[in-house]
Amino acid sequence: MSPKIFSIAEKEQLKEKMFLSGLELLKQYGMTHMSVEKIAASAGIGKSTFYNFFMSKEDFVIQLIEFNRSRFWKAVADMLGEREKLSVAESKQVLAAIINDQDSVYQYLTTEDEKKLAAADPDSSTADIVEETETLKRLFLMFEDVREDIDYGVTANLLKILAITAENRYALHESAYERTQEKLFELLYGCIFKEGKNG
């Protein structure tokens, strides 16, 4: 039996189906126990078809992260609509979603998983300060009342601290977690929005 030939549209649909089902498997099993066989079965394809799209499970997860990034930018653009800027309240929703989105891949990755991803693609996994700054600038151009003297390094670090806090919630005092997150967000908002606009 000859291999199935997919059109470009079919390939994109199949990749999206693999990403969506793979994300659910990642939530359920973690990267270590999310096998290629499980991803292929959940997408209704054979294992060999999976390898037509991805070199490895690590390659799949790296591309899943990119897929989620694209979804994020589309959601922000949809929220913006025809307007030039999001209100401060809407901007805060976007920032909270970055940290608390249940579909964020990072919260399901262990330190070992992140090392495997870095080994699979050292160029894309290395934190690039210039790239992070450009991403934040792109995002903040869509926000109203952003400070002119914004410190992108501090802002990026606060976002990372919030993400690390969310990913390691189990290690914190559970009864104070929400209050801790609120305080960290207040600090973040103070770094981003003009005085009097971050409350």
Tens digits of residue pLDDT in 20-29: 999 999 999 9
- CA–CA gap between residue 97 and residue 2 (Å, rounded): 45
pLDDT of residue 124: 60
28 and 106 together in one domain? no
Q: Contact at 8 Å (CB) between 37 and 47?
A: yes
Residues 188 and 11: their CA atoms lie apart, in Å, by 40
> What is the pLDDT of the chain when averaged over all its residues?
88
Confidence of residue 3 (pLDDT cuts 50, 70, 90): low
Do the domain assignments include residue 198? no
Residues 44 and 107 in one domain: no
Count of domains observed in the chain: 2
Is residue 181 within 8 A of residue 165, CB to CB? The reply is: yes
Token pair, residue 167, equals 């990913």
Q: What is the pLDDT of residues 18-54, one digit of tens each?
A: 999 999 999 999 999 999 999 999 999 999 999 999 9
Give the model's confidence band at 197: pLDDT under 50 very low, under 70 low, under 90 confident, else very high: low
- At 9 the pLDDT is 86
Structural domain span for residue 73: 57-192
Q: Say yes or no: 109 and 24 in one domain.
A: no
Query: Which tens digit of pLDDT belongs to each residue from 147-168?
Result: 999 999 999 999 989 988 888 8
1 in a domain, yes or no? no
122 and 140 assigned to the same domain: yes
Q: Residue 15: how many CB atoms within 10 A of its CB?
A: 19
Partners of 86 in the beta sheet? 143
pTM of whole model > 0.85?
A: no
